[in-house]
Amino acid sequence: MMMRIWDGFSLNPTQRAGPDPLNGAESIRDLYELASTNYTGKYTVRSVPVIWDEKLKTIIKSTALDLYPPHLRAQIDEANEWIDSGINRGVYKCGFARQQGPYQEAVKELYECLDKCEEILSKQRYI
């Protein structure tokens, strides 16, 4: 849980949370200062969430992140379709099957989709 303080958001000590394990940051302000020692902007609700690049030790973007860029939309839509039908719904098809035949077909489809995920993730960090 986060709480708002004057210099941004901080981990709430009453929730037994501690500093950021990667950088030791205790607030969003700490992350902004790690990314740029000259940062003079505000630490407001618009600053949360942030995406931190571990290799470059910087904030990638805190607002308007484009997780659905135009050049990847067809690929994203295709992946969403088979993930939704094969995995998201697939576990329910397995769990609610009342006969062995439909169960086996659902399990086969589910594991084919999981294998597809594993194959893709063996070559890249995301689907």
Residue 78: closest CA among 35, 120, 107, 46: 120
Q: What is the dihedral of CA 16, 21, 25, 26, to 10 degrees?
A: 0
Residues 6+ apart with CB under 8 A from 102: 93
- What is the radius of gyration, based on Cα positions, of the chain? 21
State what percent of residues in the chain have pLDDT above 70.
74
Q: What is the CATH number of domain 70-121?
A: 1.20.1050.10
What are the phi and psi torsion angles at 95 (to 5°)?
-65, -30
Structure-token pair, residue 62: 């805190």
Map out the domains of the chain as residue ranges.
Answer: 2-61, 70-121
Structure-token pair, residue 95: 């769990």
Q: What is the pLDDT of residue 26?
A: 77
Model pTM greater than 0.75?
no
Number of H helices, E strands in the chain: 4, 4
Q: What is the pLDDT of residue 68?
A: 83
80-112 per-position pLDDT tens digit:
999 999 999 999 999 999 999 999 999 999 999
Structure-token pair, residue 48: 């949360």
Q: What is the pLDDT of residue 36?
A: 81
